[in-house]
Structure 1
Amino acid sequence: MNGQNIKVFVGCDPNNCDLEQMMVLDYSIQKHTSIPVDIIWMQLSRDASSFWYTDTQRKQGWHTEKWATPFSGFRWAIPSYCGYEGRAIYMDTDVIVLSDLYELWTHPIEGNAIVAAKGGKSTARLCTCVWDCEKAKTILPNIELVKNDPDSHKNLMKMIKEHPGYVEPYQDHYNCIDGEALDLSEIKILHYSDMGTQFSHKYALPRLKQNHAEHWFDGEIFEHPRQDLATLFDQYYQEAINAGFKLEDYMIEPYGSFYKASQKNYHGNRVTRDIKEKSWFKQLIRKMKPRTQNFILDD
């Protein structure tokens, strides 16, 4: 890995909804990382020569209709994109990097593991992860099979669940979901994951409305419970602009409509939402049940 640029693949919307997130993420990477970084924005494309080509009318390219986001299944394509050589970091676009990515880039991936990610025997969150592309070639299906099957993302998540040894666990601080219980100074990579509480909405939604466009997230919007994290996003947003970063630099020709799952019934996560049983009876039953640890996957 010496002398190589860090490759970072970022899943993002194809209709310019995520410009604020893209700018803040790009700025945060450049601010903290000690060696050059190449960012590959993974966005649905109507260009037949693009790796991310999708034609929903002709049912060609990527089949996205069961994805929770416009990019959920792209993470599985990264080793193929890299020719099954070297390493590659994947992250969603709703991320702020607060440490040197070289630390994550060089994280050990040992034994049967093909990817380093947050988790262990009971969890696997691939929303920020590091692929060993060569090792992944022996495990992941052919890329054309992944593209053509709308259930491939779900099925590959199931595969990871059934083979937890494929995941080399790393420190939670590298994929801190909405702050969790960590102080801001302890967070190495912040993933403001709850789509209903994302800090960028206050910038993106008015901008899109002014341009007669809609955001791909169609669920209910809430205020994030961590004001310090909201302030951090605002700080990095302004720092990026002051440093010469511009939203226009991330704009593309809008893709238009595409198939994906709706978030109208989206419930966020236990970090950002006050999820409590209202019934005392349900609380009692929950306490009486044996404590079991379910395998948790991200979308």
Structure 2
Amino acid sequence: MREDVSNNPGRHSRYETKWYHRQPSFWFRKDRPRPEGHRLAPEVVRFDAEPGVTPSEKPPVRIFLGTEPLQARAERIFLWSVKQHRDPARVYEIYLMKDLKGYDRHGWKTGFTNFRYAIPGLAGNHGRAIYNDVDQIYLADPAEMFDMDMKGAGALAINPGEDSVMLIDCDVMAKHWPIAEVGLPGMKKKRFRNAATELKLWGELPGVWNARDDEFNAAQSKCFHFTTLQTQPWRPFPDQIRYSDHPDGEVWFALERSADRARFTGFTREKPSPSFAAALARLGNGSPAATDAAADAAEIAKLASATGAKTVLDYSAPAPGGAARAWSGLAVTARDVSKPPFAEPVAGSFDGVVAIDSLSGVPEEDVAWALDELFAAAGRFVYVSVVSDASRMMEGAAPLPAEWWKMQLELAANRTPGRRWKLLVAGESASGDEKAHAFGGGAEQARAA
């Protein structure tokens, strides 16, 4: 039995990341201000009552998740953990607090640090809400926590200095954590923590709901928190952190493998993000491909030669001048360019699928399921070429880094194994010049351990 230290704030320092855990590049980036957020509200993943089950009359379980783009891998497995342990009769709503507009994030440890104190306002200043960091997974039904007797407290946490998991009474905390103050420049976490402490609004959350690293007990823990950055199994920031294996990382990897087998994504074609309809309207206007045609052709030829491919679906944005693309030795079937990309399911079966610029304008939340359709249509290889610069983004959106696109291809390859893939990301460098990043591999590339 491991020592229970969940209620001892003085032991929190053992989870900290020291200077020697950092990559050299971190020290050149650590004071760089985060870009302005572009989302007016969190996107919501909703799990309705399962078919054939009498719906519960209890209120939806509302979970607000602090996350950011390069945590997409952890975000997906958090969602899957909720789905695996939920009450099938009840509704669960997971609000993705990511890149929200109107918050000065300079000095935040993560891209979502202070979002947790905006939850009462984001929740309409009423009802209950759970807060979770993205580096956690549920091992029990979060409804058990959601329905807990709060005994008059405004917020429950394992201790006032560890609010990475909270159960919040939004009616009580709205006036003490006013949403208008959360995004102010220089606003520190201690302002919000101290407001609850001074008014004695903190209540104690059992440690099983925030089992941090070596506090994890397979027989008892209900929420496993991989809080130590340098041992997080999915290794989200390899350019910043020197990672080592987590002693219980297999718990997370096993959950990811089950999500892969189920081909799970948070949003789907049947239930896309709320932004998808607007994206289709914009994509329907069409725009010439802005990628390097010669580089695309060279990479496609390499993939076809390596895999023996003969037939290809060209699922790309229109070529400049509207001319059909052709690649030597390949029988090419072009998608119907009269319709926006992904307006209808990708149909057919081909040796290879080529997607040049057709994913550039798809909302971040919908890229995963769109890639799944491309991988499903490809028997041997997938080639994706995208543009990642502000001039090509949807109105109100932000460019996604090359590392994010690479991660999405790796995860898609895990969900639909057996395909080779290549990714070319064109964007602007810091000097304003065109800069391209190339990545390739297969399903094995996605495992971080």
Normalised to the residue count of structure 2, the TM-score between the two structures is 0.46
Deviation at 1:179, TM superposition (A): 3.3
For residues 248 and 199 of structure 1, the distance between their equivalents in structure 2, rounded to whole angstroms, comes to 23
Does 2:216 correspond to 1:175? no
Summarize the Cα distance change of 1:3–1:216 in structure 2 as closer, same or farther, 3 Å threshold. farther
For residues 60 and 219 of structure 2, the distance between their equivalents in structure 1, rounded to whole angstroms, comes to 27
Deviation at 1:97, TM superposition (A): 0.1
1:1-299 to structure 2, matched below 5 A, reads 2-13=57-68, 16-34=69-87, 35-44=90-99, 52-53=100-101, 61-111=102-152, 113-119=153-159, 123-140=160-177, 142-163=178-199, 165-180=200-215, 182-201=216-235, 204=236, 215=237, 218-224=240-246, 226=247, 229-246=248-265, 251-252=364-365, 255=398
Query: Computing the radius of gyration over CA atoms, which structure comes out larger, 1 or 2?
Result: 2
What's the CA shift string for 1:87-140, capped at 9, x where partnerless? 0111001111000111100112223x2111112xxx432111111000112322
The question of whether the paired residues in 2 share the 8 Å contact of 1:179 and 1:192 is answered with no
Q: Aligned residues: percent identity?
A: 21
Task: Provide the alpha-carbon RMSD of the alignment.
Answer: 2.6
Summarize the Cα distance change of 1:83–1:247 in structure 2 as closer, same or farther, 3 Å threshold. closer
Summarize the Cα distance change of 1:171–1:217 in structure 2 as closer, same or farther, 3 Å threshold. farther
The question of whether the paired residues in 2 share the 8 Å contact of 1:20 and 1:247 is answered with no
Summarize the Cα distance change of 1:172–1:239 in structure 2 as closer, same or farther, 3 Å threshold. same
One-letter code of the match for 2:183?
A: K
Q: Which has the higher relative contact order, 1 or 2, with Cα contacts under 8 A spaced 6 or more apart?
A: 1
Normalised to the residue count of structure 1, the TM-score between the two structures is 0.67
Q: Secondary structure at the match of 2:164?
A: strand
Q: Secondary structure at the match of 1:70?
A: coil
What's the CA shift string for 1:27-70, capped at 9, x where partnerless? 110111112211111101xxxxxxx21xxxxxxx1011121110
The question of whether the paired residues in 2 share the 8 Å contact of 1:17 and 1:216 is answered with no
The question of whether the paired residues in 2 share the 8 Å contact of 1:173 and 1:187 is answered with yes
The question of whether the paired residues in 2 share the 8 Å contact of 1:19 and 1:247 is answered with no
Deviation at 1:216, TM superposition (A): 8.8
Summarize the Cα distance change of 1:139–1:41 in structure 2 as closer, same or farther, 3 Å threshold. same
The question of whether the paired residues in 2 share the 8 Å contact of 1:114 and 1:168 is answered with yes
